[in-house]
Amino acid sequence: MRRISAHKIAETVKTLLLDANFSLSQDVLKKIKSACNNEKNPRAKMIFEQILKNENIARREKIPLCQDTGTAVVFLEVGQDIRIVGGNLTDAINEGVRRAYKKGYLRNSIVSDPLERKNTGDNTPAVIHIKIVPGNKLKISVLAKGGGAENMSALKMFPPSATIKDIKNFIIETVISAGANACPPVVVGIGIGGTFDTVGFLAKKSLLRELDSKNPKKIYQKLEKEILADINKTGLGPMALGGRTTALAVLIETASTHITSLPVAVNIQCHALRKKSVVL
C-alpha cells in the first residue's frame, strides 16, 4: 500500500490555491482571448482587454486576480490503495488552505456561523468532496469560488414531466437575472439528476472540466451548445454592459435520479474561474 504524508497533502493544497488565485488556467485564457478577438462592441472589447491585462499583472506579480479570493472547494479522488500517514486528511487540507491564505495575503472570507457572522480568520474550513477510486494515486483539485457568482446560482426540483425547453428557460433566466452581479462573461455549471443535495455538487464539479470539453452523451452535448448560444444571444455581454459573449462555456454533469424527480442546479462562475489540479 502506497503511503502519502499529510504534510505533502497540506503543501500541495497550499501551492494549488496560491497558483489558482494568481493565474487563470490556459483553457480559460483561451476562451477569454477568443471572445476579445471576436467582439465588435468597443466597450465590451475594452473590458476583455482589461480582464486580460489584470490576469497578466496578477500572474507576473503573484497577487490575487480578484479581491474575493473565494471559498476553498477541494475535490479529492483517493485511490483505494493509498494510506494517509502523519495526520488526518481533513486536517491536512484545512492546514493547506490556512497556509495558502496566510502566505499569499489572500482575503479571509469564511465565517464560522451563517447567522453569527464571525470570521474564522484563515479561510477555513474548506468544502471537501471525496471520491474513492481504484489505484494508488491521489488527485487533488481546488476551486477558489467567489461569493458574487455563487450567490446568483439556483436549484429547481422539476417534475419528470418537465420538457427540455423548461430546463433551458430556467437556466437562461438564471443567467439573465444574475446580470452584473456574477461578473460576466460567466461559465455555467449545470447539474441534472441525482437528489436535492447531489445535483448542486454535480453543477459545481462541472466547473473543473476543460472549457472546450463536451459531455460524453450526445443529448447533453447538444444541450450545452444550444444553451451557450441562447445565453450569448441575450447580448448581456461582459460585465453586463453589452456584447457578444455573456458566457464562455456551458458544462453539464448528470446522475441517475428517482422516477418522480428531475432536479436541475445552475452554479454560476464568474470569468475568473480559478481552478487547479494535480495527481500525487
Task: Tell me, rounded to whole angstroms, the distance of Cα 262 from its chain centroid.
Answer: 23
pLDDT in tens, 1-10: 899 999 999 9
Predicted local confidence at residue 38, as pLDDT: 96
Alpha-carbon distance 185 to 50, whole Å?
13
Q: Is there a contact between 248 and 28 (Cβ–Cβ < 8 Å)?
A: yes
Q: Which amino acid is at 266?
A: V
Alpha-carbon distance 236 to 68, whole Å?
23
- For the beta sheet containing 154-158, the strands, ordered from the edge strand earlier in sequence to the opposite edge, are 154-158, 262-269, 186-194, 247-257
Three-class DSSP category at 186:
strand
- For the beta sheet containing 71-79, the strands, ordered from the edge strand earlier in sequence to the opposite edge, are 127-133, 71-79, 138-145, 274-279
Band of the pLDDT at 17, cuts 50, 70, 90? very high
Alpha-carbon distance 11 to 132, whole Å?
21
Domains and CATH numbers, the chain: 2-21+65-145 (no CATH), 148-273 (3.30.1330)
Residue among 223, 218, 214 nearest 192 (CA): 223
The b-or-e profile of 10-38 (16+ CB within 10 A means b, else e) is bbbbbbbbbbbbbbbbebbbebbeebbee
Compute, in degrees rounded to 10, the torsion defined by CA atoms 197, 150, 273, 134: -10
Q: Is there a contact between 239 and 176 (Cβ–Cβ < 8 Å)?
A: no
pLDDT in tens, 220-232: 999 999 999 999 9
| HSE, side-chain direction, 13 A CA sphere, residue 57 | 9
Alpha-carbon distance 110 to 113, whole Å?
9
Average pLDDT over residues 101-107: 97
pLDDT in tens, 164-220: 999 999 999 999 999 999 999 999 999 999 999 999 999 999 999 999 999 999 999
Q: Say which residue the cell 462562475 belongs to.
A: 269
Q: Which amino acid is at 3?
A: R
* Widest Cα–Cα separation across the chain: 59
pLDDT in tens, 24-75: 999 999 999 999 999 999 999 999 999 999 999 999 999 999 999 999 999 9
Predicted local confidence at residue 72, as pLDDT: 98
Residues above pLDDT 70, as percent of the chain: 100
Predicted local confidence at residue 249, as pLDDT: 98
Does this model's pTM top 0.85? My answer is yes
pLDDT mean across residues, the chain: 98
Residue 164 dihedral angles phi and psi, to the nearest 5°: -60, -35
